[in-house]
Chains A and B, each alone.
Chain A
């Protein structure tokens, strides 16, 4: 941990600097106003969520709100419970206490397929594309719940099935494939695509669900600078053009601090901060979580010394 602290300090520093770069762009596209949670009815509410695995508490009394049309990010050190939180909201884990409300409705007991139908879409940390299918087929699967072809229609194909398929194809091509710039790979099997392209296809598939809220689990993990900027651009466009609320887990501080309207910080399964990026950055609890306890200025001293010596 001690060896990581200089890196994390510089990461935060870089984040503060990078903020100025992309902030201008963001102000351009989003109109510059930060969305204040609480003024409008939240689209997603998590309340008093506790999740235990045997004796280990993955989440302890976590509660926050996601405003509609916002980009909210969940951050926290590794093992803080971010993916567990996502899995609980998706419906794979049952919380021992707490409620989850989507557009005012309590969905704590709803099963995952039903949550998808309500408008909750999600991507996974490890790419969860269907390797036996092409890009196009993967994307079309996103629309599954909204289609109405049944078995008999499917077996005969000509008639309702074909009509639905053609409509689907047209919409997918015009709205999604063009939007995410993946038209050149539409017929390729997903297993041969590069990591960055696969992530984009996953997002395309999530978009095909016509979601109201898009949950992205580490959307830029493993990407280089250029790919990260592309993805950031897509996320902003998704929010602006499609009106989709974005809830994401991310480690790339530059992207987080700059893109988000609202940041939620988890540590050891507990919520330790909740507010705008600026508020969260200044929060001493957050700094302690990332850098460990100890005087920050003293650590800075030590950092300068090590750097001077030639570390």
Chain B
């Protein structure tokens, strides 16, 4: 606990942010988020939007895998459901953007509930593998249900339009995505202050005890699946408005692995972990681009970029699992703790 922050009420003790220093930092973050789009160029705005989408999806996966302990390799597939729903609604009904996003979330949630149904009988690794199966089946559906998904060529998505303003640049999409993502993250944080979130953690740690305490396992596992795939669906919908084309190849198994890696690297089971992990994993390819560009190489740098990225990706997963299983958020916390005591350290 930070020095000099005595709590005077239970409400104070349970708050998300609880000291004046934290409020100050939050204010600075808020100002930074508001000011960023005005100082950043197209490239950085593009990245910011991508980061927002990834944070939303990673937070969703974290609820399922980090907090409830149900490993899923299907996050990309659920995003795909969300993306296709949004694309189809936009194309066929022309319904408002926010409604489309909600619809994307709901349809993805239904998918999540179906995939989660076996989770009572099928546990651990077997459940993870069944989510791979779900991904394969969904990919097949995306590629072959021509009437709805447009088959292999997919669907092109018109730019999002709200109140007559067309969101066709990264600058404009930023103002749509960032608030949505912030709401989703706060929602997740709130979840774990209540009995629902606690029940999820209980299921992860010792599901037999959870049952003895009266938590109906199937209902809560389904709830977790539903919630995390809702998040994925909304993130997928945002993805659709961002890239403006949705094809069956847009959401491969590799992307599910990307998100799983993001929460492992960031720190499973913590809200901050999903955020840090998503940011880190999105930035790493960009950082690699820079590094590879600087290196004096005889061959064309761009040729080796892709394989190097793949290797680094795998190495990050292995490295963090072996050396820092608590992830980036643990490193962050250690740095913070150091600075809490900094002037007084011997």
Contact = CB atoms under 8 A, between A and B. Distances in A.
B interface SS class: helix
B227 A151 contact: yes
A141 B198 contact: yes
Contacts of B271: none
Contacts of B210: 141
Contacts of B283: none
A90 B208 CA distance: 11
Given A117-B214, A161-B190, A165-B14, A130 B199 contact: no
Interface string B191-235: 101111111011011101111111111000001000100000000
A151 B195 contact: no
B121 interface: no
Interface in B224-252: 227
A132 B214 contact: no
Contact of B216 (A113, A142, A170, A187): A113
Contacts, number: 110
Contact of B193 (A113, A114, A157, A170): A157
A36 interface: no
B294 interface: no
Contacts of B211: 112-113, 116
Most buried by A among B187, B194, B199, B213: B213
Given A130-B205, A133-B201, A151-B227, A142 B213 contact: yes
Contacts of B215: 113, 141, 144-145
B190 A157 contact: yes
Given A130-B201, A132-B204, A132-B205, A112 B191 contact: no
B14 A149 contact: no
B10 interface: yes
B269 interface: yes
Contacts of B198: 133, 137, 140-141, 144
8 contacts: A128-B212, A130-B206, A132-B201, A149-B194, A149-B196, A151-B196, A157-B190, A165-B14
Contacts of B345: none
B11 interface: yes
Given A131-B205, A155-B190, A161-B190, A112 B212 contact: yes
Contacts of A187: 1
A132 B269 contact: yes
B194 A116 contact: no
A156 B205 contact: no
A270 interface: no
A187 B18 CA distance: 15
Given A113-B216, A144-B215, A209-B213, A157 B194 contact: yes
B19 to A, nearest CB: 15
Interface string A139-183: 011111101011101111100011011100110010000000000
Interface of A: 90, 92, 111-114, 116-117, 121-122, 124, 128-133, 137, 140-145, 147, 149-151, 153-157, 161-162, 164-166, 169-170, 173, 187, 205, 209
A170 B10 contact: yes
A255 to B, nearest CB: 24
Given A131-B206, A145-B214, A170-B10, 19 more contacts: A92-B208, A124-B209, A128-B212, A132-B201, A132-B204, A132-B205, A133-B202, A133-B205, A137-B198, A141-B215, A145-B213, A147-B195, A151-B191, A151-B223, A153-B194, A154-B194, A157-B193, A161-B190, A205-B213
Nearest to B196: A154
Q: Which 10 A-B pairs have the closest CB atoms?
A: A116-B214, A145-B214, A157-B190, A130-B205, A155-B187, A128-B209, A154-B194, A154-B196, A169-B10, A112-B211
Contact of B10 (A151, A154, A166): A166
B199 A116 contact: no
A112 B201 CA distance: 19
Contacts of B204: 132
B190 A144 contact: no
A142 B195 CA distance: 10
A124 B195 CA distance: 22
A153 B65 CA distance: 22
B327 to A, nearest CB: 14
Contacts of B202: 130, 133, 141
B62 to A, nearest CB: 13
Nearest to A206: B213
Nearest to B204: A132
Contact of B213 (A116, A150, A164, A173): A116
A113 B214 contact: yes
